[in-house]
Amino acid sequence: MTSIATLGSHCALQVLKGAKDEGFKTILVCEKKREKLYRRFKFIDKLILVDSFLELSEQKCSSELKDEDAVIIPHGTFISQMDSLQIESIKIPIFGNKWILRWESDRKMKEKLMIESKLNVPKTIPSPKEINTLVIAKRHGAAGGKGYFLATSEKDYNKKRDKLIVQGIIKGDNDLYLQEYAFGVSAYLQYFYSPLTSELEFFGVDRRYESDIDGLGRIPAPQQMDIDLIPSFNVIGNSPIVLRESLLDEVYSMGERFVDTAKNLVAPGMNGPFCLEGVYDDNGKFTTFEFSARIVAGTNLYVDGSPYSAFLYNEPMSMGRRIAREIKIAKKENHLTKITT
């Protein structure tokens, strides 16, 4: 019997709850320090305890998952804790396209995929010397906004970069990527693409609540000026939003362009869940500053379905459950290789 497995972090609860609801055996690869937390949830059938998630690519963990006929669901913790080679060398079938995860981690590849998808992308600033507008300095990989900062000049950038070096968060300029800051209302658009039906489903949208930048808005400007703080963009949680209905057509068009481009650039394409992340300006135009090529934690909001999944399914459908449904259908039709890599 096929089982569904993931790492104990990020959106593991939603993924395994969805898998259980679809009738799968559920397995969590769990760091020993989090065992107590995850044992609380009865829908998790089995815990494989590890000291580090890197053990996923080791023989012992692999053969245990193989014996369980497991499909692994990748999420943000895979990207933040393993490098692309480690992810690609996992011997167990991974849901979606593991090759596209490299395109998420590598800034240059990421930019190429977004630009070729004809998304409106903020300008990359090639060197701190060329900062002449508000820019955001971002770390590589899925850092979750930790250690990101804003700068308006090279001098300002150098000062903040040096502070992060002293704090041991970065080593130097090579750890940072500079992008023009995009103003507007942030929105993280959650999609699911099924290679079985060739259909794109818009699943929901969320906003992130990020520390310190969002907390700073609660302090009046004079006090903000007084404190010596480099506000970071560390994600603390997510809140729901719904979009003006008139924006939906472009939401689908952007998602479709992304899926089409991914098919050409990185076979077998953008299969399964993904997210386009950006801001809407005052004309309702979306600027995409990032994408995630796998399930995002913002989908944790909608364990019982979202205002958008309700239009597609007559039952509560979380992203985790949607993934499990896809595996169930593929298995029945003998098409598991179409939806895993």
Q: Summarize as ranges the residues that interact with ligand AMP (CB under 6 A).
A: 122, 136, 138, 145, 148, 179, 181-182, 186, 208, 210, 233, 277, 289-290
Long-range contacts of 169-173 (CB under 8 A, 24+ apart): 169/139, 170/139, 173/128
- Comparison of 232 and 306: residue with beta carbon closer to ligand AMP: 232
The least CB distance from residue 48 to ligand AMP, in Å, is 29
Going by C-alpha positions, the residue among 49, 39, 50 that lies closest to residue 16 is 39
CB of 250 to ligand AMP, least distance (A): 19
- Sequence-ordered list of residues with C-beta below 8 angstroms from that of 233, at least 6 positions apart, any chain: 136, 145, 146, 148, 210, 213
How far apart, in whole angstroms, are the C-alpha atoms of residue 181 and residue 150? Answer: 8
- Return all residues near 221 (Cβ < 8 A) that are at least 6 apart: none
Sheet containing 25-31: which strands, arranged edge to edge? 46-50, 25-31, 3-7, 70-72
Nearer to ligand AMP, 146 or 257 (CB): 146
Q: CB-wise, 22 or 206, nearer to ligand AMP?
A: 206
Task: DSSP letter for 118, please.
Answer: T
Give the integer Cα–Cα distance in Å for 71 and 118: 33
For the beta carbon of residue 102, count every other beta carbon within 10 angstroms. 18
Burial category of 156 from C-beta neighbours within 10 Å (exposed 0-12, middle 13-18, buried 19 and up): middle
Least distance to ligand AMP from the beta carbon of 173, Å? 18
Report in angstroms how near the CB of residue 142 gets to ligand AMP at its nearest. Answer: 7
Q: Which is nearer to ligand AMP, 9 or 26 (CB)?
A: 9
As measured in angstroms, the least distance from the Cβ of 21 to ligand AMP is 29
Which CB sits closer to ligand AMP, 38 or 286?
286
Report the residue number, 57 or 124, with the smaller CB distance to ligand AMP: 124
Cα–Cα separations (whole angstroms), residue 267 to 119, 139, 188: 20, 27, 24
Q: Which residue, 20 or 138, has its beta carbon nearer to ligand AMP? A: 138
Q: Smallest distance, Å, CB 118 to ligand AMP? A: 18
CB nearer to ligand AMP: pick between 182 and 327: 182
Would you mind telling me the total number of residues written for the chain in this entry? 341
Cβ neighbors of 166 (< 8 A, separation 6 or more) are none
Q: Which residues contact 21 (CB under 8 A, 6 or more apart)?
A: 321, 324
3-state secondary structure of 282: coil
Minimum gap (Å) between residue 292 Cβ and ligand AMP: 8
Q: How far is the CB of 230 from ligand AMP (least distance, A)?
A: 14
